[in-house]
């Protein structure tokens, strides 16, 4: 198993109920994590931009290792291809993007507002065995799949044992 380092973003929250309608205030209070603010202090603001609702957009992600590659999948519903950026610099994979908030019309009253909007940035430190020239990223039905093949030398191979007489 390789050493894959995952950098987990956090959000820096604003005051919970500052000038908001009762439904948004209640939603913030019910989703408030008092320990989240302690962890947010270790991340620069650029990694945790807040959305209009005060909640950062942090897409769910899975990362797995197969015998021939590393595969990352991120749920990005409602995010367009041109709003996603995948890059590799040295041994660091960066995934960033944004989902724009929908405009609120005058006279509309939201009964709940749970969808998150804004920018996100995820960074992973990759092991040396990734072939960065053959990385593939595709967005299909709201799921971004990034495949990072391993260099052939890093792949496990069976060694035949010979009996000596």
pTM exceeds 0.75 for this model: no
CA 37 – CA 100 distance, rounded (Å): 24
Does residue 162 belong to any structural domain of this protein? no
Q: What is the CATH number of the domain that holds 29?
A: 2.60.40.790
CA 1 to chain centre: 22
Domain, as residue range, for 71: 5-100+110-154
Asked if 113 and 27 touch (Cβ cutoff 8 Å), the reply is: yes
pLDDT per position as a tens digit, 68-125 = 999 999 999 989 999 999 999 888 999 999 988 888 888 888 787 777 888 899 999 9
Does residue 160 belong to any structural domain of this protein? no
pLDDT per position as a tens digit, 4-26 = 665 555 444 445 445 566 766 66
Asked if 12 and 45 touch (Cβ cutoff 8 Å), the reply is: yes
Structure token digits, residue 27: 């939603």
């Amino acid at each position: 198993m390789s050493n894959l380092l995952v950098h987990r973003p956090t959000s820096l929250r604003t005051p919970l109920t500052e000038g908001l309608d009762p439904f948004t205030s209640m939603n913030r209070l019910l989703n408030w994590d008092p320990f989240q603010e302690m962890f947010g202090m270790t991340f620069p603001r650029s990694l945790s931009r807040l959305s209009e609702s005060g909640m950062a957009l942090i897409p769910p992600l899975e990362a797995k290792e197969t015998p021939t590659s590393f595969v990352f999948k991120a749920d990005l519903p409602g995010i367009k291809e041109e709003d996603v950026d995948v890059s590799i610099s040295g041994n660091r994979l960066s995934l960033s993007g944004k989902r724009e908030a929908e405009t609120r019309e005058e006279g509309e009253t939201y009964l709940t507002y749970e969808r998150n909007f804004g920018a996100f940035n995820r960074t992973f430190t990759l092991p040396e065995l990734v072939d960065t020239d053959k990385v593939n990223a595709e967005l299909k039905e709201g799921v971004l799949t990034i495949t990072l093949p391993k260099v052939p030398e890093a792949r496990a191979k069976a060694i035949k044992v010979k009996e000596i007489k």
